[in-house]
Amino acid sequence: MGEKYKPKILIIDDEKGIRDGTKRLLESEGYSADTASNGEEGIYAGTTVEYDAAIIDLKMPGIDGIAVLKAILKSRPNTVCIIATGYASYETAVESTSYGAFGYIPKPFTSDELLQKINQAVYKRQLLLESEKWKKEREERLLEVAFEKTRLNTIINSISDGLLVVNKEGQAVLFNPSALKFLGVENILIEEQVIDRLPEGISSLIYKFLRSGKYEKTTYSARLEPSNTTDLFIEAAASAVPHHDGSLAGVVVVLKDITEMKKLEQLKSQFVSMVSHELKAPVAAVYGYLQLLDNSSISLTEEQKKNYLKRSQLRLDSVLKMVNDLLDISRMEMKTITREIKEIQLGSVVRNVIEFLSLEINKQNLNLKLELDEPIPTVNADMEEITRLFINLLSNAVKYNKPGGSIEINIFSSGGFAAARIKDTGIGLMPEEKEKIFHEFFRAKNEMTKDISGTGLGLSIVKRIVDSYAGKVEVESEFGKGTAFTVYLPVNTEAGISIKEKEILTDNN
């Protein structure tokens, strides 16, 4: 700490004797004092420097004391001003204080009177400064609080989960737009009695806390099913909000949209039950035949026995095929297939597939035509997958064709795609079947397809492979006339997934 602070006093008086005497007196008492001999000087000094206090003579030639007082206070409101006057009267006192003077001192004054007044003024000055400081701090804090509140609101409004806070009286205190949406409520007013407007599942959660009236560190949760106000599945968790002293302040409810999860769950169980059904059907058929063969009370001819064994084998084949297809699908979904991406000529893949299926093609006496546009398009893909894709498409064209029918294959470029069109003269599809053809286990069922075996997974695998290369597959068909599938695969650019998987592949190596 330095020297003791010397309060700065300004003396404004046109009488030299009073100026100098006052200055000497104050300085001897530990003040620092400046003087001004007229109103003009006084205003200049009093506005340029922040004085703790000023003694202003009321009657001066030119600018009088009241004008000086006003001028100083205007720019230095915390300078405590005392009016000195030889004409002390009640009116002057009132007048000067009404302009903001702290007080007045009658002239002539004694040293003691002056010092007492100055002391009071300096004390007043301290109070003024202090209150100013508090005011400033308070304003700053309010600003900070306001800012904090807006920031918090922005954060709360932007989160995708719903948030609703009610106080102990059941009034809404805080909520965000997601909460309105999830609760199926149009609007909530702050301080509105809101609980009974909420879905029953939510209000009962809140009441659990409000009834006990005590803060408890538990979270209750509930699930909301879609209702007439919202078509969402919502998971709600309610917790008590404590006051500083640990008593119950209110309840906060956090709402989560679990609709997508529910949908996936549903898809999953649908898929599981479809798979079970599809697997169980052949098992039940084989079981039935075995029971017949094993049953001594039912007599079978040798031919029947042979037939049942053959049928059983066929059904078991289909189970095996289906399990393999399912494993492929699951590998595709888990992306555990290791791809070897290289440049593939669609023409040569299709030729190989035709070769592979030639036995069936000949058996059905089918007329096959392959047309390749020059230059023959290439794609960057995994040979095994593309081969699989064409085996599935072409074997369908064979299986569902009529004996002596034909298959036309065109390979061509189309925009940024390499395309292959496989057209058969088979059974064809009904319009409603066309939509479902790529669904797992969907098989067109009619008189003509009943003896054709299949897993119902072939085309769904085709679609998965095509999608994974960011390509597309289109189907045109007329029932009774035939079906054409066109596959488009991006030319020579490695599709997003392929590139990524290739990178992963190299990383692993």
Among 311, 321, 402, 434, binds another protein (CB under 8 A): 311
3-state helix, strand, coil in the chain (%, to 5): 50, 20, 30
Q: Which stretch binds another protein (CB under 8 A): 34-42, 123-131, 304-312, 376-384?
A: 304-312
Nearer to another protein, 285 or 341 (CB): 285
Least distance in Å: CB of 296 to another protein? Answer: 11
Burial class (CB in 10 A: 0-12, 13-18, 19+), 200: exposed
Nearer to another protein, 280 or 331 (CB): 280
| Residues within window 100-159 making contact with another protein, judged by CB under 8 A | none
Going from the C-alpha of 359 to that of each of 348, 365, 392, the distances in angstroms are 19, 10, 16
Going by C-beta distance under 8 Å and a sequence separation of 6 or more, which residues neighbour residue 354? 361, 368, 370, 394, 409
Going by C-beta distance under 8 Å and a sequence separation of 6 or more, which residues neighbour residue 122? 7, 52, 53, 80
Least distance in Å: CB of 485 to another protein? Answer: 23
| Residues within window 255-294 making contact with another protein, judged by CB under 8 A | 269-270, 272-273, 276-277, 280-289, 291-292
Contact indicator for 70, 99 with CB cutoff of 8 Å: yes
Q: Which stretch binds another protein (CB under 8 A): 100-108, 295-303, 387-395, 483-491?
A: 295-303
Rounded CA-CA distance 145/342 in Å is 62
Q: Is residue 313 within the footprint of another protein (CB under 8 A)?
A: no
Per-residue tokens: 65: 């004391």
Among 295, 367, 453, 492, binds another protein (CB under 8 A): 295
Least distance in Å: CB of 289 to another protein? Answer: 6
Nearer to another protein, 134 or 287 (CB): 287
Least distance in Å: CB of 438 to another protein? Answer: 17
Nearer to another protein, 170 or 288 (CB): 288
Nearer to another protein, 244 or 445 (CB): 445
Rounded CA-CA distance 55/100 in Å is 13
Closest to 207 in 3D by CA, of 178, 235, 183, 238 = 238
Nearer to another protein, 229 or 273 (CB): 273
Least distance in Å: CB of 363 to another protein? Answer: 21
Per-residue tokens: 410: 């065109």
Q: Is residue 450 within the footprint of another protein (CB under 8 A)?
A: yes
Among 299, 336, 506, 509, binds another protein (CB under 8 A): 299
Q: Is residue 211 within the footprint of another protein (CB under 8 A)?
A: no
Contact indicator for 419, 411 with CB cutoff of 8 Å: yes
| Residues within window 227-246 making contact with another protein, judged by CB under 8 A | none
Q: Which stretch binds another protein (CB under 8 A): 71-79, 83-91, 158-166, 303-311?
A: 303-311
Nearer to another protein, 244 or 450 (CB): 450
Closest to 370 in 3D by CA, of 384, 388, 355, 385 = 355
Contact indicator for 161, 235 with CB cutoff of 8 Å: no
Torsion (CA) 66, 69, 70, 76 in degrees, nearest 10: 180
Rounded CA-CA distance 195/181 in Å is 16
Q: Which three-class secondary structure state does DSSP give residue 347?
A: helix
Nearer to another protein, 212 or 291 (CB): 291
Beta bridge partners of 97: none
Residues forming contacts to another protein in the complex (CB under 8 A) are 269-270, 272-273, 276-277, 280-289, 291-292, 295, 297-300, 304, 308, 311, 315, 445, 450-451
